[in-house]
Structure 1
Amino acid sequence: MPYVNIKVTDLGVTREQKARLIAGVTQLLQDVLQKNPATTFVVIDEVNTDNWGTGGIQVSERDRLQHLG
């Protein structure tokens, strides 16, 4: 019973893209590990950019600074 958790920022990920991620990860687990798709769980967490950081700053702040300069 595989469980895969994908975390992405909440910027512009469409419903269709999420569906493709779920289908693709499920297929990959079936192909590589022979896991049953019926018992494979894929969860996508969308994280607000205020709660996601890189390079020591929030992604929302990084994006704001990039738009200023």
Structure 2
Amino acid sequence: MPYVNVKVTREGVTRAQKAEIIGRVTRLLAEVLGKDPATTFVVIDEVEPEDWGIGGLPVAEYRRPAAG
């Protein structure tokens, strides 16, 4: 009974994109690990960008172009 938690920043991910992620992750586990899709759980959490950090920086600061 696999459980996969996908976290993305809340920046306009559509229902269609979420459905595609769920389908592809489910198929991947079935193909690679032989897991039963009927008992595979995929959860998508959307996180506010200000609550996400990369390399020690808030995501907005990380994405800012380097001053040159």
TM-score (structure 1 length as normaliser)? 0.82
Distance 2:56 2:4 in 1: 27
CA RMSD, Structure 1 to Structure 2 (Å): 1.7
Whether the 8 Å contact between 2:54 and 2:62 is mirrored in structure 1 is: no
Asked if residue 57 in structure 1 is aligned to residue 57 in structure 2, the reply is yes
Percent of aligned pairs with the same amino acid: 62
SS at match of 1:26: helix
Give ranges in structure 1 of 5+ residues lacking alignment.
none
More helix by share: 1
SS of structure 2 residue aligned to 1:30: helix
Q: Which residue of 2 aligns with 1:34?
A: 34
Q: Deviations over 1:1-49 (max 9, x none)?
A: 0000001000121111000000000001111111111100000010001
Q: Which 4+ runs in 1 deviate beyond 3 A?
A: 63-66
Provide structure 2 residue ranges, at least 5 long, that are not aligned to the other structure.
none
